[in-house]
Amino acid sequence: MNGPAPAKAADTSAVDQRIAELLGRMTLAEKVGQMSQVNADFPDAPARLGDAIREGRIGSVINQVDPGVVNALQRIAVEESRLGIPLLVGRDVIHGFRTTMPIPLGQAASFNPEIVRQGARVAALEAAAAGVNWTFAPMIDIARDPRWGRIAESLGEDPCLASRLGVAMVEGFQGEDLAAQGAIAACAKHFAGYGACESGRDYATTNIPENELRNVHLAPFRAAVDAGVATLMTSFSDLNGVPGTANRFLLRQVLRAEWNFRGFVVSDWDSIRQLAVHGLTAGDADSAHEAATAGVDMDMAGGVYAAQLPGLVGEGRVGIDVIDAAVANILRIKFRLGLFDSPYVEGDRIPLVPVEERARIARQAALQSVVLLKNAAGVLPLARADVKSLAVVGPLADDPYEQLGTWIFDGDPGRSVTGLQGIRDLLGEDVKIRHVRAMETTRSRSTDGFDEAVDAARVSDAVIAFLGEESILSGEAHSRADIGLPGAQAELVGRLRETGKPVIAVIMAGRPLTLTDVIDDLDAVLFAWHPGTMGGAALADLLFGVESPSGKLPVTFPRAVGQVPIYYNRKNTGKPSTPESLVLIDDIPVRPGQTSIGNTAYHLDAGDRPLFPFGFGLSYASFEYAGLRLGTHELRIGDAMSVRVDVTNRGGMAADEVVQLYVRDLVGNVTRPVRELKGFRRIRLDPGQTGTVEFVLHSDELAFFGRDNTLIVEPGEFHLWVGGSSEADLRATFRLVEVSGG
């Protein structure tokens, strides 16, 4: 499926003509109004905002989801203002609207663009029925620091995965025709580098060399722009000393000049005013000047443009051409959305997916997002015939709100199927279930409920402990320095372990957690992220073998927080660690003499390995990879080659496997990562079945930004791996060669 197509050439010309005609009729105040978004999160918004809308001083509202109120606001704009320009209605529709999908990081674990696209489509239709025509998603910041709360909203640490899934979200939100009923404008955010904020503290400084910025952090944004994303949002953080909201390099040079972006750029909430807080400007006037001239077209909820731009234009500090270009960008999206022809919410015209189908998509997304991290002695799946009683414990076992995750303003907990409910629905009356919450919240330090949980465990055949972190512990402004299980959960695990019963953990969290202190006390671990509306139903299917887990980690899990940042596609360094070089802290003799122990890159107290690597995920099946073959061992620049591998299910049940393709450029103009994901395919195999998976690798996918920060495709030798994680060991070698003249 191709991304949303831009308007046809004839339509583009007609739209540009209409934009020019409108601009010619607009006063400066009306132009600045189009550049101003205001909060409308109150039921009497038409009364409170009516005069400003009539006077053309508001071009967009945010946070109003009552369709009656939206239509009242729109009616004022269209029928009572001088020019009748409709409003954009924005809302954070991040991973669902009423029906909630897994958090984006969880969706990324599916490695499945189609289920991500379907989830975004459901969200768009539900949001459009409430009057929303613009969402502030997808968030495609590359996230390599699990301390950062907003890693929950991200698509992980890898540019290839984030690019493909980000495009899928754009396609789901916008559809093939942005003017169609039920399509809403997407917004790629945060431009750019926000995921690299220092120590994982939200809003903090980012320092990213241009080469890394281009090779890693900008890649998903370029993919979204190429897919036709309507809007971009700037980052709260500064980038190399210049906040994203005033960064001309990003907005003028990269986005407009290099990528030819035709949509518009919105600031993050009040981030124009915050330029002065950063210390970049002396006050609001300077802030408005910096943002407008840098290329920020719309001020989100800050009021700075409305207050300052008319004076700045009058003083000659901001040219009218800057204003006209920004307004044209905004009007272009309003035309693409069809708002001038169909401004009102007409719920009966929106082709809503049936409720049952929405639940099916949410269930499938949850099912494919869960990652099996450990399964000692094959304790999972639980055999229904052998389990007569079950202890279901923990603060997240039966909490319909918490499983929805962060940033779900419109999510409906009443639609949630919790883990406890899912297990009961599946097992019926056949199994006695003893439910003990044990802790009031995931942060509780009280152990008062532990004895009851232990008593339930002792008289049950197995224990399922629903652990993790509440939804409020991840997301914006919810960074953590310690990313272990919060509260007394580790102690609870230890007490349950003492019963001698199998202990299975279902962990719901908005980020990777350091599980080193509990992993040995758990027989099995299903990492469920925050799985959304249908999480409990999906988990029951996985626990009892109706389906096999198939999620793969979109981000590396560290052993200790001191390893952060840790990610698979690192550079090799001049002293890469090897198994032979590792000398851990307990192995160092007393007074050994001063020496560079090991002489390689690792931590004395954690080694060089993560707890779980990128792309990792176990299955109830066992997959065997063989017969890796390349279409050629000399790939010419400008050509593509096939990569085929045979995958056999050696297990006893049908299961999905995510087959992953990695490459390494051995010698480069700049140093290259030890591995880079270049492709992935989800395949379902019956027991004993062999399937052939084919990738097509084009030489363009081997391009990178070199020393002068221009994109190059460089001849040389490459290693290629195919397997079930970033540690795949089935390898081939090929050369990229120049096309010979003749």
Q: Pick out the chain residues at pLDDT < 70.
A: 1-11, 741-742
Structural domains in the chain, CATH included, are: 88-342 (3.20.20.300), 366-543 (3.40.50.1700), 567-609 (no CATH), 623-737 (2.60.40.10)
Output the CA torsion 9→12→16→22 (10° steps). Answer: 150
One-letter-per-residue 3-state SS of 344-368: CCCHHHCCCCCHHHHHHHHHHHHHH
Structure confidence by residue, pLDDT tens digits, 210-265: 999 999 999 999 999 999 999 999 999 999 999 999 999 999 999 999 999 999 99
Residue whose structure tokens are 């991973």: 95
| Nearest partner of 239 among 203, 273, 272, 215, judged by Cα | 203
Residue whose structure tokens are 């390689």: 600
Question: Distance (Å, rounded) from C-alpha 323 to C-alpha 29?
Answer: 11
* Beta-carbon count within 10 A of 338 CB: 17
Structure confidence by residue, pLDDT tens digits, 250-307: 999 999 999 999 999 999 999 999 999 999 999 999 999 999 999 999 999 999 999 9
Contact predicate 292/322, CB 8 Å: yes
268, 399, 523, 665: the catalytic one is 268
Assign 412 to helix, strand or coil: coil
Residues β-bridged to residue 62: 39, 90
Which pLDDT does position 5 carry in this prediction? 41
Max Cα-Cα span within the chain = 84
DSSP state letters, 568-621: SS-B--SS---TTT---GGGSPSS--S--TTSSS-BTTTBT--SB-TT--B-SS
**Sign of torsion, CA 166 168 169 170?**
positive
Active site (annotated) includes residue 268: yes
Which pLDDT does position 4 carry in this prediction? 38
Q: Which residues contact 209 (CB under 8 A, 6 or more apart)?
A: none
Which pLDDT does position 9 carry in this prediction? 38
Question: Distance (Å, rounded) from C-alpha 407 to C-alpha 78?
Answer: 31
HSE of 598, CA atoms in CB hemisphere, 13 A: 21
How many whole angstroms from its chain centre is CA 184? Answer: 18
Which pLDDT does position 1 carry in this prediction? 33
Residue type, 688: G
Question: Distance (Å, rounded) from C-alpha 159 to C-alpha 95?
Answer: 20
Residue whose structure tokens are 């981000």: 555
